[in-house]
Amino acid sequence: MLLLATVGFIVWEAITRFKVDDEVRSNLVIIVASVGIVVNGITAWLFVKGKERDLNIKSAFLHFVADMLVSLGVVIAAVVIFFTGLSWIDPLISLMIAVFILNGTFKLLFDSINLSLDAVPKSIDIIAIQDYFTNHEKIKSFHDLHIWAMSTSETALTVHLVVEDSVDDDFIHKTTDYISSTFNINHCTIQVEQTAQESCTGCN
């Protein structure tokens, strides 16, 4: 709600400035916004490596990137106004910034909803996992495959594997190790069967 209120304030102020031709102190704006670009850019860079594994880190990364781009937009607007005197550039950039903030916010919201609904994380290639089970020399078929996010950084998998011959614990250990190292799924529960059972209603 606070974010929407902030964006709403930016939009309102931008519309107001379209009607009122106020002077923009371009030199001061460029200096302050340039500092913002450097500070937010460096901070965002610190979160780059972890943004794909953790939704919280991704949220922080997007926040600092948004701040950096906002500052960049302000600098561009100030430079254009300084050389052209077109003060309406300022509210126009403000509206563009508001749209950018809302776009990034809604994408993060959808990721959060997927997490709460136990949806397959976007970073997981479920087709590749299915291909792995399908092409495995010891696996005849599989069913009841479920993949969901346990947290912003942990993913779980459960599956029933139908095998032609009896297998030992080494087979399960190698399978879970491969899934962990290849697909970054560290919580695997594998049930081994020699006769396929009827899949659960509503299972993937």
Q: 68 vs 43, 52, 78, 170, CA distance in Å? A: 10, 20, 15, 50
Residues 111, 13 share a domain: yes
Residue 38 forms part of a structural domain: yes
Residues 96, 131 share a domain: no
| pLDDT winner (highest mean) among 45-49, 110-114, 129-133 | 129-133
| Mean pLDDT of the chain, nearest integer | 77
DSSP state of 194: S
Structure tokens given for 100 = 């950018």
pLDDT digit string (tens) for 35-71?
A: 888 888 888 887 777 666 666 677 777 777 777 877 8
Which of 60, 85, 116 is where one domain is finished? 116
Q: 130 falls in which pLDDT band (50, 70, 90)?
A: very high
- Per-residue model confidence (pLDDT) at position 113: 66
Judged against a pLDDT cut of 80, whether residue 172 lies above it is answered with yes
- Per-residue model confidence (pLDDT) at position 100: 77
Residue 204 forms part of a structural domain: no
Q: Which residue range forms the structural domain that includes residue 39?
A: 2-116
- CB-based contact 161:133 (threshold 8 Å): yes
Residues 142, 178 share a domain: yes
Residue 16 forms part of a structural domain: yes
CATH number for the domain that contains residue 137: 3.30.70.1350
Say what percent of the chain tops pLDDT 70: 76
Nearest to 186 by CA among 176, 173, 171: 176
Residue 200 forms part of a structural domain: no
Residues 169, 83 share a domain: no
pLDDT, mean of residues 189-204: 62
Residues 95, 36 share a domain: yes
Residues 165, 79 share a domain: no
pLDDT, mean of residues 91-104: 79
- CB-based contact 90:24 (threshold 8 Å): yes
Residues 82, 8 share a domain: yes
Chain CA centroid to CA 126, Å: 17
- Per-residue model confidence (pLDDT) at position 120: 72
Q: CA angle at residue 11 from 10 to 16, to 5 degrees?
A: 100
Residues 106, 38 share a domain: yes
Beta-bridge partners for 189: 158
Say what percent of the chain tops pLDDT 90: 11
pTM metric for this prediction: 0.48
- CB-based contact 197:142 (threshold 8 Å): no
Residues 7, 107 share a domain: yes
Residue 77 forms part of a structural domain: yes
Q: How many domains would you assign to the chain?
A: 2
pLDDT digit string (tens) for 13-38?
A: 777 777 666 666 677 778 888 888 88
